[in-house]
Amino acid sequence: MARNSIEKKLIALSAEIVALKQELRIVEEQLAHFEDEAEDARLRALVSETPQADKIHRDASATVSAFRRDQNHKLEKIKKLERRQDELLDQLSV
């Protein structure tokens, strides 16, 4: 592969990694918030023992699960892009 082509791919990969890391930071902040909300809902459900409080807790837990899946997806994608970046850097150094 031509050096120029590798450099362009590295620049694009780098920009994508930076953007994904920014998205990951946002997801992690939101996750922390919703984990607190879910814990509060869990305690309220334990104390009140009402169907409504239990539903709020289940909904909050589902939201936390969705954010964790999104977090894991972004982490895996970042790892994949970083591996590709390493491969391109290896090609560039040859």
Q: What global pTM score does this model have?
A: 0.85
Single-letter amino acid code for the residue at 31: L
pLDDT of residue 92: 86
Residue 77's domain comprises 3-93
Q: What is the pLDDT of residue 71?
A: 98
Count of domains in the chain?
1
The predicted pLDDT at position 35 comes to 97
pLDDT of residue 94: 77
Given this model, what pLDDT does residue 26 score? 98
Could you say which residues of the chain have pLDDT below 70?
1
